[in-house]
Amino acid sequence: MKLYFHITGFGKFCGVNENPTEILIERLPTYLQENSIPENIQVLSYSILDVAGIDAVFFFGSTISKFHNQIFEPNTRTIWLHFGVWTSLPGFNIETTGWNEADFSCPDEREWQPIEQKIVTNSAQSLKTDLPVTEIHASLSQKYNVALSTDPGRFLCNFIYLTSLHFSSINKTSSLFIHVPSFEKAPIDTQLSFARDLISEIAASLV
């Protein structure tokens, strides 16, 4: 089965002027060219998003429109893979759940600061990824410091994840969010290797 990936990271936000995921997404295309991934995988887009709710919503609308044919192509699967930073983490977190609540501790990059506000009206309190994260985690944990998590916070990481899971439920695609640590905890080479192995493990889990 052909797998199409859309991979995102974030730019700067309150207190974090250099977001590791921005550098990760900038370098990942070259890294994947030099370190092969399974032939049935095609990364259709790499995006660095501003840390702003409206930009996340616009990203999905525009990307779904642009890649409509691939999303609904028979015998394929589209996967939205999102990376965000959580600087206090000792390693990587595979987020299993998005929560339908925006409760920003500081304004986003467009000065929006919702407090205990629903992200998607008339949707469930939480949505879970349909990817086999337990299996993926078991494989990756042999090489990396990685944990399963049910709490992505309530800032933009959770906002884009819940939005992604919502669109996936409508369009029959799949979504996953990964929190990465700072480069002090996991240098860029480790994060690039993790991203490549994660993509390969997702593919292997869907065979």
As a whole number of angstroms, the distance between CA 202 and CA 183 comes to 24
- What global pTM score does this model have? 0.96
As a whole number of angstroms, the distance between CA 43 and CA 196 comes to 11
**pLDDT tens-digit readout, 71-111:** 999 999 999 999 999 989 999 999 999 999 999 988 888 88
**pLDDT tens-digit readout, 11-25:** 887 777 789 999 999
Least confident of 47-56, 65-74, 96-105, 170-179: 47-56
**pLDDT tens-digit readout, 119-167:** 999 889 999 999 999 999 999 999 999 999 999 999 999 999 999 999 9
pLDDT of residue 108: 87
Q: How many Cβ atoms from other residues are within 10 Å of residue 29's Cβ? A: 12
